[in-house]
Every structure is written in C-alpha cells, then in structure tokens.
Amino acid sequence: MPTNFDLAPPVKTVDGLVAVPIDIQSITAALTFDGSTSSGSGDATIEFVAGPSNGNPIFDLRQTITAAWLDGVPVPVAAVAHHDFGGGANAQLRVVESVVAAGTTHTLRVTYTLGPPQASSAGSYQPAMTWSAGPRLVFNFGFTDLGAGRYLEAWVPANLIFDQFELTLTVQILNTAVAHTIITNGSVTNLGANHWSAAFPARFTALSTLLEVRATDTLTGMTGTVTLPVSGITVTIEAWKLTGGGADLATQINNIRTFLTSNENSTGTYLHGNRFVAFLHLGGMEYEGGTTTGTGALRHETFHSWWARGLKPASQPDAWWDEAWTVYNDNGAATATPLDFTDPPAELCPRNPWVRITAGGAYDDGNRFFEGAASLIGAGTLKSLMSAFYNERRNRPETTAHLEESLVARSGNAQLVDAFHRFVYGFATPSPAPDLWIRDDPAHGGSDAWGGVFWDSPDLWTRKSDDGGTTHQPPEFGQDNWFHARVRNRSASVTARHFLVTFNVLPFAGTQFQYPGDFLPCITAAAGFDLAPGASTILKARWPAALIPPEGTHVCLLAAVITRSDHPVAGRHVWEHNNLAQKNLTIADMVAGDAAIFPFVIRNRKVRARKRILIEIIRPGERVELEASLLHPIAADDPAADERIAADCGGGAFLRSAKSLEVPFAAGRTAAIPLQLRGGDEIVLGLRLRVPADAKRCDVLRTHVVQREARSKNIVGGVTVEVRVC
C-alpha cells in the first residue's frame, strides 16, 4: 500500500524523544462487551511502516492501555504514554519509547479497557458505551471535528488523518440474550449471535468509520435505492432511527435520493460503493457514505460524502475547506461577494501541524472566503474548478496548499494568492512588502531590471523524477516530471509568510514572454511559507505525464513568484521584473560532425507596426568557428518569398529549399542577422548547428540566440541550445 509521508507532520523532539510519524498499513481490532459486568475491552494490532527518519513511532488511543507489544516484544505501558506536541487542548499523541529504523515494517499490539474516551467532550452527539436492562448496550463512535481525540482513536488505536489504512473490526456482545444490530458503513459479516466483523477499505482514514450498536428492538430501519447519474451505480440507502423517533424514513430516503443525485451531478463520482447509511437521530456528523444526524442537517451531511469524506482533508488545519465549501453549497453555490481587505485576517488553516480541531470560523468565514473567490473568478468557474480538484485528487487526502495551487493555476487569477494569505492562513498584509525573486543568471543580484542573460535561469529546472536533484534534465515524455524553482527573499527585514510559484510551459522555444498572458493560467503551482529575509528555498510541483509534450518538442519553462503586496507587474517581461523567470533551454545529444535544427518563435506584439530586429548568435567561447545558420520558413505558394525574405533578412546571401530560406551567420564569437517583422507576426525560425568534426565525446557546447531591438540594441529575448557531444 502506498505511503502518505509527504502529507505527514514533521519529525519533532518531544520530552527527549524523537517522535516520528508512521504510516499504518492495516489495523485488526476486536471490541468485546460483557453484559454481565457492563464492561468492555479492546485488543488491536496495527501494522505500520516507519517514516523516512529513525525515531520513536507516534499514534493515538484514548482508552486505558493494559499491555503493549512491539513486534511481539512486551513494551511497558508507561512507554506508550501521551505527550504534548503543542497542538492545543486534548491534542496529545502517544509515543512509543522504542526507536525504529526508517522505512522498516513493524507491528504494535495493545490491549485496553473500554470506557468513555479520554478526549474532548465537544459536539452534540457524544461517544457512548452505556447499558440498560436486558442487558442492552448502546455503543457509538460519536466522531466530531470540533474536539481533539474524537475520531477512531477514541476507541481503536489509529493515526492522524493524513494516513489511509485497512481496518478489520470485530464486535461481540457477551452474556446477553437481547439481540443487537450493528449500523455501519463497513462491510459486515455475521459471525454469530451479537457477533460481527466489519471491514473498512484501504482508502479510509481515522475520520471515516461509522459505527452504532444498539438493541434491535430499539431501532426501526428502512431501505431504498437510487441509480446515480454520473457513475451509474445503484446505491442502496439504509435509513435508521430509534423506534418511536420522529423522522419519516420513507420521506428521508427520498430526500437522500435527491441529494445523492444532485451531488454527483455537481461534483463527481460517488466513491463509497453501493451503499449510503444514515442514522437519523441526533447531531450532524459525516462519515464515508454515511451520516449520524438530525433531519435538518441531512442535506449538509450527505454532501460531505463528497467534500470531507470523499475528498478528505490531510490534516485538521485543512478541514476548514470541506465545511466551508459545503456551507457555500448549502447556500446555493452562486453568491459572489468581493472580499474586503480592510477586514481582520481570518485564520482557517493554522500553520501548526499538530492542531487537531477544525477552525471555528470554517463555517461562516470559510463560506465568506468562497463567496470572495467567486467574485474574483465567477461562481460558475469556481464550481467547475472545485469539481475538477475533487475528481483529480479524490484518491488520497488533500491539503489547503494544494487547493490554492490548483485554483490559481487553473483560473489564472493571482489575486487568489492575496485571498488565501489573509482569509485562509490568517496573515496580515506585510509592511513593508517582502521582495521575492528568482535569479535570471548566476550574476543576477536581484534587481528588477537585468541586462544580462535572462533566458536560462539557474533557479529553474525540471527533473524526470521526484529525486531531489538540482540540475536541469530535459523532460521525459510518457511519465510525470517535476518542476523546481529556487525562491529568494531580498528583503532585509520582512519574512514572506506565504507565497506561490506558478509554473507554465509554452510548447516552443521563444522570445519576449510577458506577464500575465504567457504565465497564467499555468500547468501547476507550488505554495511556500515563512521565507526569512536573505534566505532561499526550493519549491517543487508535479508536471503530470498527460501534459508532457512529445519528444522533439522544444519548450520554454516560465515561472512567477507571487506574494501579498509583491506581484509581478502586468505587461512586464522577464528582464524587467525579478518575480519572473524563464528557462529557454534546449538540450540535445549529438555526435561530432552532425547537424540539427532547433526551432524557436519570435513575435511582434504590435499589431499595426512593423518592427526591425536582430537575431544574434553568441557562440561558445572555445568554439567561435561553430557553423550556424538561421532558417526562415516560406510558403510553397508564395513566389515572392525569396525577394521579400531576403529583404527582411538584410539582403544577405541565403540558400533556398522547398520550405525555407537559410541564412548563414558570419564567423566570430557573435554575429547578427537583421529581420523585419510585420505587425502581429509570430514566426517560427530555425537555428541550424553543426557540431565540429573534432569535437570530443562529453564536450558541452552552449550557444545563445538572442533577439535585439534594431535601434536600441537591447536584448528582448533569448534561447540557449546546449549540445552534449556523445
């Protein structure tokens, strides 16, 4: 089973212990209840993989442990105690006082007594284990987002909510003749009288499992079905209430049919198989494909099987968006109200990874945030982008940063960065503003205006795999690749609390890229936090395989860094603003004596004005004799092409083929060919290079082709071709 360590909190030293996250692969647990003593006990074994660092594993359980074993070896109960990680009230975690090696697989078994969870008492529907005459048991998990320690860990050892795992849960009630019923979103196998096994799939996390156990004569149930419009799945709706309860089950099943159908149409595929389970009693709590709720909140809780328990938050600080988006949909998902940046900041997603409670403002302030986002990009567009995010990311938990990255990249609206900064992360507007930048050249010191090489930024690179490498590799077609950007803070005193780097690729090498049109919308983005004055950091983002251009395509990588009060200026080029960078680098493997053509694009953005430019080659210093020429395409049905293009190219000598004119560059370190562009021209040119016959294997020849303004001689674009002799 894949691990989710990229979503886990960092290693933390607590009370002298190096506490490391684990990734649970499976949990096997048995809860046994004894009617003769009105008691219960638990016995659970978790199989886990240790994280990328050696240390002491962390987990949680809010019951009294009576014995523990790590890999079959007894561990003192005091050596699996709770420790304070700084996450707030009731947010402690258990730390195993045995060091495990990074990447190793282990089992941890614990036995424990069952009683009221030693956790927060928040929420209107409390976890319960109570007995009445019969004896009759009332047992429920009673999850809530509003208090720490109130997910699966209240009853069964579990992990933080970044982790996905299989769970097999056996429930047995002894010493009672009263029949009981289990209500759950797991797959149930009856093992005997008052004895069940419930299996929960590997996509579940600690907040997913619904469980209620009650005497059968206290319950009334009814079922119905609905065929969903997108997936085509026929879902059985199981509705339960207490006997004599006020809910009309037939009416509520019809309501659930409507809600499930509407949710698939608005958001995407239902992920929870062919069942939906509702216990219509008290409270309002979502589970995967199920809910425990009063009838008034049923629509809200059903939608949560898409947002919250379909696409799940990766941490409790991320849990704001599922409540906020659900409330926005409760209200019609059409309201667009501009954000007022004079309003106080709203912290919906705290930066403390150990927080284990959903922000109280998630409902109202979160809804207000989405109203503001709708005002920036349109309510219809927002709904479409949120649906796209759900359908692309639904297989594993997701973060607030990933949501921000997706919305900015797809909408192209940089103001969303400001909105997240103030009304999600809760940061004030910085004063003075930080000055974030990306180097254009190794000699670039951070100024906006840069007259040197700017088309081959050393702070931008791609890798063929997520391997942490810092040298550029040409993208590999047919697989995921990875964008990287090194972001620097030029400020002397201001920390950049939050910022975003956008990554875009244009499927050609070209010149004169301009913000925002060439930069946004973009392929992807990466969020960063807390970049100190004078510091730098590397951000990375996945370049999906489906968006990698075919082999032989020469692309340009563009990046922009955006933070509150420091946006790139519209209309600026890379050499005019330090927030912008590009890597216009083509890498080719060639053998001595061979020639190849490298296409690139030049533009005249002025629609009504001709422009005279110079295409200049800068040869490698050690290879000033490098044979090079410029190819200009011609149309086969254009008899005047020779004369016109010859004039455009300054009247110099040229060679004609069926599809192009070829103009050689003069000898020397640099040489230029004049070219005239008509208004609105976008022309594909070719650079033909021939590797010297005496070039040696492993030689690297870097050649620059730049576009200069004919009058000012200013460079306004460039392309680098790196030939590796093989």
Is 429 contained in some domain? no
> What is the band of 294 on the pLDDT scale with cuts at 50, 70, 90?
very high
Is 136 contained in some domain? yes
Is 428 contained in some domain? no
> What is the band of 658 on the pLDDT scale with cuts at 50, 70, 90?
low
Share of the chain above pLDDT 90, in %: 81
- Whether residues 45 and 180 fall in one domain: yes
- Whether residues 190 and 334 fall in one domain: no
The domain that holds 101 is classified in CATH as: 2.60.40.1730
Decide: residue 404, CB within 10 A, 0-12 exposed, 13-18 middle, 19+ buried.
buried
Is 213 contained in some domain? no
- Whether residues 196 and 239 fall in one domain: no
- Whether residues 254 and 327 fall in one domain: no
> What is the band of 643 on the pLDDT scale with cuts at 50, 70, 90?
very low
Q: Residue 531: CB partners within 8 Å, gap ≥ 6?
A: 434, 436, 487, 489, 495, 496, 499, 537
- Whether residues 393 and 282 fall in one domain: no
Check pLDDT > 60 for residue 543: yes
Is 277 contained in some domain? yes
What b-and-e string marks burial along 446-472, b requiring 16 or more CB atoms within 10 Å of the CB?
eeeebeebbbbbbbbbbbbeeeeeeeb
Domain total of the chain = 5
Is 699 contained in some domain? yes
- Whether residues 620 and 715 fall in one domain: yes
> What is the band of 651 on the pLDDT scale with cuts at 50, 70, 90?
very low
Q: Cα(521)–Cα(518) distance, rounded to whole angstroms?
A: 8
Q: Which of the residue ranges 123-127, 299-303, 554-558 has the most confident prediction, judged by mean pLDDT?
A: 299-303
What b-and-e string marks burial along 354-375, b requiring 16 or more CB atoms within 10 Å of the CB?
bbbbbbebbbebbbbbbbbbbb
The domain that holds 247 is classified in CATH as: 3.30.2010.30
In this predicted structure, which of 17-21, 91-95, 258-262, 455-459 has the lowest mean pLDDT?
455-459
Q: Which residue has the higher pLDDT, 185 or 698?
A: 185
Cα-only R_g, the chain: 31
> What value does the mean pLDDT take over residues 10-17?
98
- Can you read off the two tokens belonging to residue 698? 């492993």
- Whether residues 651 and 508 fall in one domain: no
> What is the band of 657 on the pLDDT scale with cuts at 50, 70, 90?
low
- Can you read off the two tokens belonging to residue 586? 């083509």
Asked which of 207, 233, 250 is the last residue of a domain, the reply is: 207
Is 185 contained in some domain? yes
Check pLDDT > 90 for residue 283: no
Q: pLDDT tens digit string along 350-361?
A: 999 999 999 999
- Whether residues 389 and 485 fall in one domain: no
> What value does the mean pLDDT take over residues 512-523?
92
Asked which of 303, 330, 346 is the last residue of a domain, the reply is: 303
pLDDT at position 644: 45
pLDDT at position 656: 55
Q: Cα(702)–Cα(685) distance, rounded to whole angstroms?
A: 19
- Whether residues 280 and 329 fall in one domain: no
Average pLDDT across the chain, whole number: 93
Q: Cα(176)–Cα(36) distance, rounded to whole angstroms?
A: 8
Residue showing tokens 């490391």: 20
Asked which of 393, 423, 453 is the last residue of a domain, the reply is: 423
Share of the chain above pLDDT 70, in %: 95
Domain containing residue 199: 5-207
Q: Residue 395: CB partners within 8 Å, gap ≥ 6?
A: 203
| Three-state secondary structure readout of 497-557 | EEEEEEEEEECCCECCCECCCCCCCCCEEEEEEEECCCCEEEEEEEECHHHCCCCCCCCEE
Give the torsion sign (CA, 105, 107, 108, 112).
positive
> What value does the mean pLDDT take over residues 640-645?
48
> Are residues 614 and 672 in contact, defined by beta-carbon separation less than 8 angstroms?
yes
Is 310 contained in some domain? no
pLDDT at position 629: 93
- Whether residues 140 and 239 fall in one domain: no
Please state the separation of Cα 225 from the chain's center in Å.
35
- Can you read off the two tokens belonging to residue 474? 């040409």
> What is the band of 601 on the pLDDT scale with cuts at 50, 70, 90?
confident
> What is the band of 638 on the pLDDT scale with cuts at 50, 70, 90?
low
pLDDT at position 641: 47
- Whether residues 263 and 344 fall in one domain: no
- Backbone phi and psi for residue 649, each to the nearest 5 degrees, phi listed first: -90, 20
The domain that holds 563 is classified in CATH as: 2.60.40.10
> What is the band of 635 on the pLDDT scale with cuts at 50, 70, 90?
low
CA angle 289, 293, 297 (to 5 degrees): 95
**Helix and strand tally (H, E) in the chain?**
8, 40
Q: Cα(716)–Cα(615) distance, rounded to whole angstroms?
A: 11
- Whether residues 560 and 460 fall in one domain: yes
Q: Residue 26: CB partners within 8 Å, gap ≥ 6?
A: 46, 47, 165, 166, 167, 168
